[in-house]
Amino acid sequence: MSNNDTKFLWNCWYAAGWEHEVAEAEKLERTFLGKPVVIFKGESGRYIALDNRCCHRGAPLGMGRIEGDCIRCMYHGLKFDPQGICVEIPGQDKIPASHKVRSYPIEERGNLLWIWMGDPALANTDDIIDYAPLSDPEWQGLPKQCYLHYDCNWMLIIDNLADFSHLAFVHTNTLGGSEAYAVETKQEIERLERGFQFERWHRESAPAPYHLKVNPDESPTVDRRNYVQMFVPGVFLMETAFGPVGWDQSADHSAVKQYRNCQYMTPETENTAHFFWDYLRNYRQDEEAVSISLRDSLLEGFWEDKVIIEAQQKLLELEDPFQPRGIAADSALAHFRKVWDELLEDQRVNHPPKQIEVTRSIL
């Protein structure tokens, strides 16, 4: 067990990649929670996730060859089945039971792959947060679901998303609209056992720039509604709607344009992270130009975040100690971190990560 193992929460489902990423890479080598994994689609169509290190000498299975639902290491030819069991060693009849690599539960929901890095016995696929719009033809997503790599602790991205006041300053000209957004609208969150949610109305204000770009005839003054949910370990779901001044949820809202936004943060290592996202809409679904414009606008906004968050990460990594000071707008992130700490403590007491015993070392 490495020292970092106690910093991660093991027994939950993490977003691992989009289906198209695995299709393009064939064997997708990706690290989660500090552990190197190879993900591939077996010839039967099922997804398989194994420790990327061949049990023989640690060579990458990601450089291997898919054979049926197995993968063969192309260093010395060992072959592993979907459970990670070594089923062939060239030139050797008997295969010891110890010859296996770890296999990770992996599931697909709405084109997104979910991996379970903890104790497989505790994995329950009912716990996967399956975001309905990803599978619903009424909702049109981006031309391709997106991925960004962040040079930061994944929790900094969660902090970022948990605090809407940053929209006013970081994204004034892209996703936000005005600095007033930070001041006018107090954010009251509903604390959940594994996260939080809140609804936020921004009434009689200019529509956000990214929305205006694809709706140039939009009214200059609209009511904007956001409904946000954040769940452990790093799932951000948001409904966004722009409608005529005075509209509300209960009434008819055929004139309201709606979006569905999902973002997933998964730790790669302690200080690097995976970020997956899609942005869906329920209007003009067949116009690819709209999808492309939305993707580019969102990406522009995420890059605004990425630049400041990665700078923040570097400043926090300095030896010079830093004592953060809370503000009122932190209520969401503070609650999320409290939930996280409680789950870590529960893990420490009830499900400590198992230590792997190493009796020989190659290096």
Kindly identify the residues of this chain, within the stretch 280-299, that bind its own copies according to CB under 8 A.
none
How far, in Å, CA of 75 to CA of 67, rounded? 15
Query: What token pair was written down for 133?
Result: 């719009």
Q: Interface with its own copies includes 326 (CB under 8 A)?
A: yes
Angle CA 117–123–126, to nearest 5: 125
Q: Check residue 105 for interaction with its own copies (CB under 8 A).
A: no
CB of 171 to its own copies, least distance (A): 10
Site for its own copies in 7-36 (CB under 8 A): 34-36
* C-beta separation of 15 from 31 below 8 A: no
Q: What is the DSSP string of 51-113?
A: ESB-TTT--BGGGSEEETTEEE-TTT--EE-TT-BEEEBTTBS---TT-B--EE-EEEETTEE
Interacting positions 252-281 with its own copies (CB under 8 A):
270-271
Q: Applying CB under 8 A, does 90 fall inside the site for its own copies?
A: yes
Least CB distance to its own copies at residue 311 (A): 5
Interface stretch with its own copies, choices 180-188, 212-220, 280-288, 289-297 (CB under 8 A): 180-188
Interface segment toward its own copies; rule CB under 8 A; list 223-231, 248-256, 278-286, 323-331: 323-331
Distance CA 122, CA 212 (A): 46
Which part of the chain contacts its own copies (CB under 8 A), choosing from 14-22, 106-114, 134-142, 159-167? 159-167
Exactly one of 68, 96, 120, 352 binds its own copies (CB under 8 A); which one?
A: 96
Taking CB under 8 A as the criterion, the residue among 112, 142, 182, 214 binding its own copies is 182
Q: Identity (one letter) of the amino acid at 15?
A: A
What DSSP assignment string belongs to 217-247?
TS-SSEEEEEEEEEETTTEEEEEEEEESTT-
Considering only residues 37 to 56 of the shown chain, the ones binding its own copies according to CB under 8 A are 52-53, 55-56
Distance of alpha carbon 210 from alpha carbon 104, whole angstroms: 39
Using the rule CB under 8 A, is 245 a contact of its own copies?
Answer: no
Rounded Cα–Cα distance for residues 24 and 307 (Å): 28
Name the minimum Å distance from CB 127 to its own copies.
24
**Beta strand segments in the chain, E:** 13-18, 27-32, 35-41, 47-51, 65-67, 70-72, 79-80, 86-88, 103-104, 106-109, 112-116, 146-150, 190-192, 195-205, 222-231, 235-243, 257-269, 272-281
Q: Does 323 bind its own copies (CB under 8 A)?
A: yes
Minimum separation from the CB atom of position 39 to its own copies (A): 16
Query: Closer to its own copies at the Cβ: 24 or 317?
Result: 317
Is the Cβ of residue 68 or residue 96 nearer to its own copies in the bound state?
96
The Cα–Cα gap between 193 and 189 comes to 13
Residue closer to its own copies by CB (options 62, 243) is 62
Q: How far is the CB of 326 from its own copies (least distance, A)?
A: 8
Is 344 near its own copies (CB under 8 A)?
no
User: Minimal distance in Å, beta carbon 274 to its own copies?
Assistant: 17
- Tell which one of 25, 148, 170, 299 touches its own copies (CB under 8 A): 170
